[in-house]
Amino acid sequence: MQLAGKVALITGGASGIGRAAALLFAREGAAIALADVNADAGQQVVDEIIEAGGRAFFELTDVAASADCRGFVERAIREFGRIDVLFNNAGIIRRSTVLDLSEEDWDRVMAVNVKSIYLVSRAAIPHMQKAGGGAIVNTSSGWGLAGGGKAAVYCASKGAVVLLTKAMAIDHGPHKIRVNCICPGDTDTPMLREEARQLGVENSRFFAGSAMRPLGRAGTPEEIAQSVLYLASDASSFVTGTALVVDGGGLAGSF
């Protein structure tokens, strides 16, 4: 069990990649602290972990709010006593050009996708230092490395995550805290379907675009979760500051 005895915090854990990571981490022996704005779905994930014999709790959390992030971390310390892994996964998308994007949507995407990493990490890192180190994994995107159409603020936010990850890796390496990010491509999650809705495209037609990549399909949340497990576990003990592309080859010809 790669995370036996460890405590993992996961934001955006009620669905998609966050849910898959929570279930995988629990099977690998970690106690799970789960944060999301979807209380029903988040509690279902926790119930599933507990029914399987694991330890977990759910905290209703707006990751763009400092007090919520601090409260989430403090509860994890009360419940489990330490923090070993932080998966900053919460994210939203708005498919639009800068001309059509509202200022409110710009601010909200940047707050959830970028500011949340700062807020939760700021609260969690001192506890990781006390524990003698840890691992932070942030969720970026293939569009954090290459641009995409009608996705201006999403690309901006995910590009920021890549460089924030690298800066954090430099700052906290001396504390034995490794900081990496994943850059998924199209993954079969509720957010991908939300993209299709925002663009007014039928799901089947939208997913057909995934067949253009070398592996010929979209990824699954469980496949992306495996990459997060690698970066969170001792298997990647000499890896920090990296942006791991997990996209079925979609960006293979882009560099």
Of 57, 58, 154, 206, which is the active-site residue? 154
Q: Which of 160, 151, 146 is nearest to 98 (CA)?
A: 151
Cα(131)–Cα(82) distance, integer angstroms: 7
CB 3, CB 233: distance < 8 Å: yes
71 backbone φψ class: left, alpha, beta (φ>0; ψ -120 to 50): alpha
Cα(152)–Cα(168) distance, integer angstroms: 24
**Catalytic annotation on 154?**
yes
Cα(49)–Cα(26) distance, integer angstroms: 7
Q: Residues with catalytic annotation? A: 154
